Amino acid sequence: MKTTELQAQARETVGKKENKALRNSGQVPAVLYNNSEATHIYVDYKELQPILFARDTYIIKLNVDGKASNAIIREAQYHPVTEKILHVDFLQVTDEKPVVLTLPVNLVGSPVGVSKGGKLVTKLRRIKVKGIPSQLPEKVEINVSQLDLGQTIKIVDANIQGLEIVTNASTGVASVEIPRALRSAGAAKAAAGE
Protein backbone atom coordinates (compact mmCIF):
# COMPACT_ATOMS: atom_id res chain seq x y z
CA MET A 1 0.00 0.00 0.00
CA LYS A 2 1.19 3.51 -0.81
CA THR A 3 2.47 5.72 1.97
CA THR A 4 2.81 9.49 2.21
CA GLU A 5 3.86 12.02 4.83
CA LEU A 6 1.82 14.82 6.35
CA GLN A 7 2.88 17.45 8.87
CA ALA A 8 0.47 18.31 11.70
CA GLN A 9 0.46 20.49 14.81
CA ALA A 10 -1.38 19.92 18.08
CA ARG A 11 -4.28 22.26 18.87
CA GLU A 12 -4.34 23.96 22.24
CA THR A 13 -7.95 25.15 22.07
CA VAL A 14 -11.01 23.51 20.51
CA GLY A 15 -14.27 25.15 19.46
CA LYS A 16 -16.23 26.70 16.59
CA LYS A 17 -14.43 30.04 16.81
CA GLU A 18 -10.98 28.41 16.84
CA ASN A 19 -11.91 26.05 13.96
CA LYS A 20 -13.12 28.97 11.85
CA ALA A 21 -9.90 30.88 12.52
CA LEU A 22 -7.87 27.79 11.48
CA ARG A 23 -9.82 27.39 8.23
CA ASN A 24 -9.41 31.10 7.43
CA SER A 25 -5.63 30.71 7.79
CA GLY A 26 -5.51 27.76 5.33
CA GLN A 27 -5.49 24.98 7.94
CA VAL A 28 -7.90 22.07 8.48
CA PRO A 29 -8.94 21.05 12.01
CA ALA A 30 -8.53 17.32 12.62
CA VAL A 31 -8.51 14.62 15.27
CA LEU A 32 -6.10 11.68 15.53
CA TYR A 33 -7.75 8.70 17.23
CA ASN A 34 -5.70 5.99 18.92
CA ASN A 35 -8.02 3.45 20.62
CA SER A 36 -9.95 5.59 23.13
CA GLU A 37 -7.44 8.48 23.05
CA ALA A 38 -8.08 11.52 20.83
CA THR A 39 -5.50 14.16 19.92
CA HIS A 40 -6.79 17.43 18.44
CA ILE A 41 -4.54 18.59 15.61
CA TYR A 42 -4.56 20.70 12.46
CA VAL A 43 -2.98 20.15 9.04
CA ASP A 44 -2.26 22.36 6.04
CA TYR A 45 -5.15 22.41 3.53
CA LYS A 46 -2.85 22.37 0.47
CA GLU A 47 -0.93 19.31 1.75
CA LEU A 48 -4.09 17.41 2.70
CA GLN A 49 -6.13 18.08 -0.43
CA PRO A 50 -4.17 15.86 -2.90
CA ILE A 51 -4.24 12.96 -0.40
CA LEU A 52 -8.02 13.21 0.10
CA PHE A 53 -8.91 13.59 -3.57
CA ALA A 54 -6.51 10.92 -4.86
CA ARG A 55 -7.86 7.69 -6.31
CA ASP A 56 -5.44 5.68 -4.15
CA THR A 57 -5.72 4.90 -0.45
CA TYR A 58 -2.70 5.90 1.60
CA ILE A 59 -1.14 5.03 4.91
CA ILE A 60 -0.14 8.47 6.15
CA LYS A 61 2.98 9.00 8.21
CA LEU A 62 1.47 11.74 10.38
CA ASN A 63 4.13 13.89 12.02
CA VAL A 64 2.53 15.71 14.98
CA ASP A 65 5.00 18.19 16.49
CA GLY A 66 7.94 15.87 15.75
CA LYS A 67 6.22 12.64 16.85
CA ALA A 68 5.46 10.35 13.90
CA SER A 69 2.71 7.72 13.72
CA ASN A 70 1.04 5.79 10.91
CA ALA A 71 -2.59 6.69 10.28
CA ILE A 72 -5.40 6.40 7.76
CA ILE A 73 -8.19 8.85 7.01
CA ARG A 74 -11.28 7.51 8.74
CA GLU A 75 -13.67 10.30 7.78
CA ALA A 76 -13.64 13.70 6.12
CA GLN A 77 -16.30 16.39 6.29
CA TYR A 78 -16.87 18.77 3.38
CA HIS A 79 -18.76 22.03 2.94
CA PRO A 80 -22.11 21.16 1.28
CA VAL A 81 -21.80 23.84 -1.41
CA THR A 82 -18.11 24.54 -1.99
CA GLU A 83 -16.92 20.98 -1.14
CA LYS A 84 -14.02 22.53 0.78
CA ILE A 85 -12.55 20.24 3.45
CA LEU A 86 -13.92 21.25 6.87
CA HIS A 87 -12.64 18.51 9.20
CA VAL A 88 -10.75 15.22 9.08
CA ASP A 89 -10.62 12.23 11.42
CA PHE A 90 -7.43 10.18 11.33
CA LEU A 91 -7.13 6.69 12.82
CA GLN A 92 -3.72 5.56 14.08
CA VAL A 93 -2.85 2.10 12.71
CA THR A 94 -0.35 -0.58 13.67
CA ASP A 95 0.50 -4.00 12.28
CA GLU A 96 -0.88 -5.66 15.43
CA LYS A 97 -4.49 -4.74 14.67
CA PRO A 98 -6.45 -5.16 11.40
CA VAL A 99 -8.33 -2.16 10.02
CA VAL A 100 -11.18 -1.65 7.56
CA LEU A 101 -10.18 0.38 4.48
CA THR A 102 -11.63 1.17 1.08
CA LEU A 103 -9.33 0.26 -1.80
CA PRO A 104 -9.70 1.21 -5.47
CA VAL A 105 -10.96 -1.47 -7.88
CA ASN A 106 -8.91 -2.08 -11.03
CA LEU A 107 -10.65 -4.01 -13.82
CA VAL A 108 -8.27 -6.16 -15.89
CA GLY A 109 -8.85 -7.99 -19.15
CA SER A 110 -11.02 -7.28 -22.18
CA PRO A 111 -14.56 -8.66 -21.82
CA VAL A 112 -15.87 -11.08 -24.48
CA GLY A 113 -19.09 -9.04 -24.68
CA VAL A 114 -17.21 -5.86 -25.65
CA SER A 115 -15.82 -7.58 -28.78
CA LYS A 116 -19.46 -8.41 -29.69
CA GLY A 117 -20.47 -4.73 -29.50
CA GLY A 118 -21.29 -4.40 -25.78
CA LYS A 119 -20.17 -1.64 -23.44
CA LEU A 120 -18.23 -2.27 -20.21
CA VAL A 121 -19.82 -0.38 -17.31
CA THR A 122 -18.03 -0.01 -13.96
CA LYS A 123 -20.52 -0.28 -11.08
CA LEU A 124 -18.09 -0.27 -8.13
CA ARG A 125 -14.99 1.94 -7.97
CA ARG A 126 -13.94 1.19 -4.37
CA ILE A 127 -14.25 -1.92 -2.22
CA LYS A 128 -14.13 -2.23 1.59
CA VAL A 129 -11.58 -4.73 2.92
CA LYS A 130 -10.21 -5.68 6.33
CA GLY A 131 -6.60 -6.54 7.06
CA ILE A 132 -3.21 -5.63 8.50
CA PRO A 133 -2.29 -2.25 6.95
CA SER A 134 1.21 -3.21 5.76
CA GLN A 135 -0.15 -6.36 4.04
CA LEU A 136 -2.98 -4.68 2.12
CA PRO A 137 -2.47 -4.13 -1.63
CA GLU A 138 -2.67 -0.74 -3.32
CA LYS A 139 -5.72 -1.83 -5.31
CA VAL A 140 -8.02 -4.82 -5.82
CA GLU A 141 -7.69 -6.32 -9.31
CA ILE A 142 -10.75 -8.04 -10.77
CA ASN A 143 -10.60 -9.95 -14.06
CA VAL A 144 -13.55 -9.15 -16.35
CA SER A 145 -12.39 -10.99 -19.50
CA GLN A 146 -15.11 -13.70 -19.18
CA LEU A 147 -18.01 -11.19 -19.13
CA ASP A 148 -20.40 -11.64 -22.06
CA LEU A 149 -23.25 -9.45 -23.30
CA GLY A 150 -25.72 -8.66 -20.50
CA GLN A 151 -23.59 -10.28 -17.77
CA THR A 152 -22.53 -8.76 -14.44
CA ILE A 153 -19.60 -9.81 -12.26
CA LYS A 154 -20.29 -9.64 -8.52
CA ILE A 155 -17.79 -9.58 -5.65
CA VAL A 156 -18.62 -13.21 -4.81
CA ASP A 157 -17.71 -14.25 -8.41
CA ALA A 158 -14.55 -12.12 -8.59
CA ASN A 159 -12.28 -14.69 -6.89
CA ILE A 160 -10.40 -12.13 -4.77
CA GLN A 161 -7.56 -13.92 -2.96
CA GLY A 162 -5.89 -13.04 0.36
CA LEU A 163 -8.31 -10.30 1.43
CA GLU A 164 -11.23 -10.25 3.83
CA ILE A 165 -13.96 -8.42 1.92
CA VAL A 166 -16.32 -6.27 3.99
CA THR A 167 -18.47 -4.99 1.09
CA ASN A 168 -21.60 -7.09 0.47
CA ALA A 169 -20.68 -10.14 -1.66
CA SER A 170 -23.72 -9.70 -3.93
CA THR A 171 -22.64 -6.19 -4.99
CA GLY A 172 -22.05 -5.87 -8.73
CA VAL A 173 -18.56 -4.75 -9.76
CA ALA A 174 -18.92 -4.41 -13.54
CA SER A 175 -21.25 -5.43 -16.33
CA VAL A 176 -21.36 -5.54 -20.13
CA GLU A 177 -24.43 -3.66 -21.30
CA ILE A 178 -26.10 -4.42 -24.60
CA PRO A 179 -26.43 -1.20 -26.64
CA ARG A 180 -29.92 -0.28 -27.91
CA ALA A 181 -28.88 -0.72 -31.57
CA LEU A 182 -27.66 -4.27 -30.87
CA ARG A 183 -30.85 -5.10 -28.94
CA SER A 184 -33.12 -3.82 -31.72
CA ALA A 185 -31.09 -5.72 -34.35
CA GLY A 186 -31.49 -8.91 -32.29
CA ALA A 187 -35.25 -8.29 -31.94
CA ALA A 188 -35.56 -7.71 -35.71
CA LYS A 189 -33.72 -10.98 -36.42
CA ALA A 190 -36.01 -12.85 -34.01
CA ALA A 191 -39.13 -11.31 -35.62
CA ALA A 192 -37.91 -12.18 -39.15
CA GLY A 193 -37.20 -15.76 -38.11
CA GLU A 194 -40.80 -16.38 -36.87
What pLDDT, on a 0 to 100 scale, did the predictor assign at position 28?
A: 94
Residue 159 — left, alpha, or beta (φ > 0 → left; ψ -120 to 50 → alpha)? left
Residue 7 sits in the same domain as residue 86: yes
Does 87 score more than 80 pLDDT? Answer: yes
Radius of gyration (C-alpha) of the chain in whole angstroms? 22
**Among 173, 185, 193, residue whose Cα is nearest residue 118:** 185
Over residues 14-24, mean pLDDT: 89
- In whole angstroms, what is the distance from residue 8 CA to residue 21 CA? 16
Given a contact cutoff of 8 angstroms between Cβ atoms, the answer to whether 144 and 107 are in contact is: yes
Indicate which CATH number applies to the domain containing 157: 2.170.120.20
Give residue-wise pLDDT tens across range 25-64: 999 999 999 888 899 999 999 999 999 888 888 899 999 9
Prediction pTM value: 0.75
Pick the last residue of a domain from 64, 93, 122. Answer: 93
Indicate which CATH number applies to the domain containing 14: 2.40.240.10
Residue 74 sits in the same domain as residue 130: no
Q: Residue 29 is part of which domain span?
A: 2-93
Domain count, the chain: 2
